[in-house]
Structure 1
Amino acid sequence: MKLVSVETPEKSVCKMTFSATAEELEAASNAVYERTRASYTIKGFAKGEADRAQIEADRGEHTFWYDAINDLMDRDVPALYEAAMAEHGFKAVDEPSYDLVSVKKDEGFVATATTPLQPELNLTQTTGFHVECVTPAVTDKEIDAVLERRRNAAAELVPHKGPAVKGNIVHIDYEGLLDGKPFQGGSAQNQPLQLGSGRMIPGFEDGILGHKGGEEFEINVTFPVRYHVKDLAGKPVVFKIKLIDVCVRQLPALNSDFAKKVGKVDTMEAFREQVRKQLHDGKHASALNRAKDQVLTQLASAAEGELPSVLVESTYQQEMQNIQQQLQMQRMSLDRYLSQIHQTRENFTANVHAAAEKNTRARMALLQVAQNEGLVPTDEEITKNLQERADRTKKTLEEVKANANIPAMQRSEAIRRAADWVIEHSTIEEK
């Protein structure tokens, strides 16, 4: 492969074009074929018996191209890329993004690498920023809520002799029978169960209601039609039940005994003060973090100049991906979330993009501050960090280095140090 050209289509963006000849593509494709031929099953041939021409006739002439292109790019491009970056004095601030421009059997292929470069920002101010840290007051209602949660966590199970009702916690032995025979997963010993929780299949918990501790009885239920175990789905079964005991959750009184047991203090007044301080400390930590973010926002506003668009776009895409992942964890779609916050998709994405631009500007300003103030970690410091990582993971330093993105590590640590430096040289007024 060879480097065809190095361009700067916009300020702080480098675009390199690479090409491989038809002969290089053919040799790499044949190597991929030799490596993977045993995995192909072609009609009329035993697995791994078809030759390359037969595989390509069945799957297409491009079958081995893309793995071959990746092999050539992985082998040749890093050295060509690094040499060109050094020759032009470019400083990358993110990994290059690769695009395949064209690929033809008789011409080879052409690919590009687009890299955001460090912008030259005019930092009109780097110290002396002033923000307020406002810590909200802790209310009695918030203290009461914490105490109630801890009270519920300290509740004890107390057996009672009455019949089981919803809300009771019971302990049971049970055995399920399908057509008179036990089935896999259908039995348990001393199983705790809160009646009304819906943990068991429909009818199971209801069948325990009204029975007392020590009783043995049977429950006739039917598994749901869409039950995950196909052999049981829609089938009627019998559960033999032994009700060991019926318990109620007994909440402790909010008195000195509770304070001593849960709060490790002598009185409820002291316990309330302990909770108040914990809540205050948490609110203050959040307020302080917001204040620090405001300092960096002011730094971003004081950083004038054009940012590489590909870096802003990369940050925006990462932010959107993070939002989507958070929504997926909550089993919520983006459209449903937008309807809840009464925003259109256009307004929402515009706001996320604006935030991505601000965050990118702050990071680039901090990187420049780090360079100006001598805060960029040295090679020795990075090596020490990697050695510590190697010691933790029981690997060699060489193994860790092989999988580490050292330039990215240096940038990340430089930005972190610069953030601390800017905040230390600013004023956060407590309110």
Structure 2
Amino acid sequence: MKLVSVETPEKSVCKMTFSASAEELEAASNAVYERTRASYTIKGFAKGEADRAQIEADRGEHTFWYDAINDLMDRDVPALYDAAMKEHGFRAVDEPTYDLVSVKKDEGFVATATTALQPELKLAQTSGFKVECVTPAVTDKEIDNVLEHRRQASAELVPHKGPAVKGNIVHIDYEGQMDGQPFKGGSAKNQTLQLGSSRMIPGFEEGILGHKGGEEFDIFVTFPTRYHVKDLAGKPAVFKIKLIDVCVRQLPALNSDFAKKAGKVDTMEAFREQIRQQIHDGKHASALNRAKDQVLTQLANAAEGEIPSVLVESTYQREMENIQQQLQMQRVSLDHYLSQVHQTRETFTANVHKAAENNTRARMALLQVAQQENLVPTDEEMTAKMQERADKLKKPLEEIMAKSNVESIRRNEAIRRAADWVIEHSTIEEK
């Protein structure tokens, strides 16, 4: 492969064009074929017996191209890229984005690498910013809520002799049968169940109501038609129940005994004060983080200059991916979330894009501060940092260095140090 051109289509953006000849593409494609031929099953041939021409006739002439392109790019482009960056004195602030421009059997292929470069910002101010840290007061209601939560967590199960009612917690043995035979997954021993929780299929919990501890009885139910086990869906069954006991949750009294047990203090007054301090500390930590963010926002606002659009876009894409992952963990779709916060998709994405732009400007300003104040980690410091990682993972330093983007780690550490420096050289007034 060879480097064809180096361009700057916009300020602080570098675009390199690379090409590979038809001969290089053919050799790499053949190497992919030799490596993967055993995995192909072509009609009329046993698995792995078809030759390259037969595979390409069935799957298309491009079958091996894209793996071949990736192989060539991985092999040749890093050295070409690094040499060009060094020759032109460019300083990257993000990983390059690769695009395939064209690929033809008799011409080879052309690809580009687009990279965000460090912008030259005019920093009107790098220290002496002033913000307020406002910590909201702790209310009695907040203390009461925490107390009740801890009280609920300290509740004890106490057996009672009366019939089971909703809200009781029971311990049961049960065996499910269908046509007189037990079925898989239908039995359990000493199972804990809160009646009315709807954990079990319809009719199961209701069948326990009115029974007392020690009783044995049958419950007749029908599985829901959309039950997750298809063999059981819509079918009748009987559960043979042994009701071991019926319990009620007994909440502790809010007295000195509870204070000693839950708070390790002698009185409820002391316990309330302990909770008040804990709530205050949490609120203060949040307020202080907001104040620090405001300092960095002021730094970004004081930084004049053009930010690479490709860097803003990559930051925006990462932030959107993070949001999507968080929503998936909560099993909430983006559209459902937007309906809850009363925002349109257009407004939401515009806000995320604006935040990405502000975050990018702040990071680039901090990187410049790090360079001005000699806060960028040295090679010796980076080696020590990577050695710590190697020791933790119990792997050789050389392996960790080879698998890590050392310059990206150096850049992020420089930005972190600069953020601490700017905040330390600013005033956060406590309110």
Q: CA offsets per residue over residues 159-190 of structure 1, 9 Å max, x none? A: 00000011100000111112212222211111
- Residue 313 of structure 1, CA deviation: 0.7
Greater shift, 333-342 or 417-426, is seen at 333-342
User: Which residue in the other structure is 2:16 paired with?
Assistant: 16
**Partner residue in 2 for 1:145:** 145
**Distance between the aligned counterparts of 1:347 and 1:64, measured in 2?**
43
SS in 2 for 1:207: helix
Structure 1 residue matching 2:186: 3-state secondary structure:
strand
- SS state at 1:172 partner: strand
Q: Who is 2:282 aligned against?
A: 282
Paired position in structure 1 for 2:319: 319
**Cα deviation code 1:386-425 (max 9, x no counterpart):** 1111111121112211221100000000000000000000
SS in 2 for 1:389: helix
The gaps in structure 2 that reach 5 residues or longer are none
Corresponding letter in the other structure for 1:419? A
The alignment status of 1:361 with 2:361, answered yes or no, reads: yes
Match of 2:100 in 1: 100
In 2, Cα distance between the equivalents of 1:335 and 1:70? 36
Does 2:405 match 1:405? Answer: yes
Output the amino acid matched with 1:350: A
Aligned amino acid, residue 130 of structure 1: K
Q: Distance in 1 between matches of 2:184 and 2:345?
A: 49
Q: CA deviation digits over 1:12-63, x for unaligned, max 9?
A: 0000000000000000001101111111111111111111111111111111
Which TM-score applies when normalising by structure 1? 0.98
Please give the secondary structure, in 2, of the residue aligned with 1:5. Answer: strand
Q: Which amino acid aligns with 2:121?
A: L
Residue 179 of structure 1: aligned partner: 179
What's the counterpart of residue 338 of structure 1? 338
SS at match of 1:228: coil
Q: What amino acid does structure 2 have at the position aligned with 1:48?
A: G
In structure 1, the residue corresponding to 2:205 is in which secondary structure? coil
Q: Hey, what's the Cα distance between the residues in 2 that align with 1:340 and 1:391?
A: 47
Query: Residues of 1 paired with 2:312 and 2:185: CA distance?
Result: 53
The corresponding residue for 2:36 is 36
Paired AA for residue 189 in structure 2:
Q
Question: How many Å separate the matches in 1 of 2:403 and 2:200?
Answer: 47
CA deviations 1:310-369 (Å, max 9, x no partner) are 001111111112222222223222223223322222222222111111100000000000
Distance 1:335 1:37 in 2: 44
- Match of 2:343, SS? coil
2:59 maps to: 59
Matching of residue 72 in structure 1 with residue 75 in structure 2: no
The one-letter code matched in structure 2 to 1:342 is H
Task: Pick which of 357-366 and 377-386 moved more.
Answer: 377-386
Letter in 2 for 1:144: D
Distance in 1, Cα, partners of 2:347 & 2:226:
41
3-state SS in 2 of match to 1:291:
helix
Normalising by structure 2, report the TM-score: 0.98
Q: What's the offset of the Cα at 1:119? A: 0.4
Identity level (%): 86
Distance 1:226 1:338 in 2: 30
| Corresponding pairs, count | 431
| Pair 1:157-2:157 in alignment | yes
Alpha-carbon offset, residue 228 of structure 1: 2.0
Q: Distance in 2 between the 1:166 and 1:357 partners?
A: 54
Secondary structure of the structure 1 residue equivalent to 2:285 = helix
Amino acid of the residue matched to residue 306 of structure 1? Answer: E
Q: How does 1:21-420 map onto structure 2 within 5 Å?
A: 21-420=21-420
The aligned amino acid for 1:164 is A
3-state SS in 1 of match to 2:349 = helix
Find the aligned partners of 2:389 and 2:198 in 1 and give their Cα distance. 46
Instruction: Give SS of 1:206's match.
Output: helix
Q: Which moved more, 1:199-208 or 1:252-261?
A: 199-208
Equivalent-residue separation in structure 2 for 1:159 and 1:342 (angstroms) = 48
State the AA in 1 paired with 2:366. L
Unmatched tracts of structure 1, length 5 or more: none
Counterpart Cα distance in 2 of 1:223 and 1:171: 22
Q: CA deviation at 1:235?
A: 2.1
Cα distance in 1, alignment partners of residues 316 and 139 from structure 2: 38
Cα RMSD (Å) = 1.0
CA distance in 2: counterparts of 1:222 and 1:392, whole angstroms: 55
The equivalent residue for 2:427 is 427
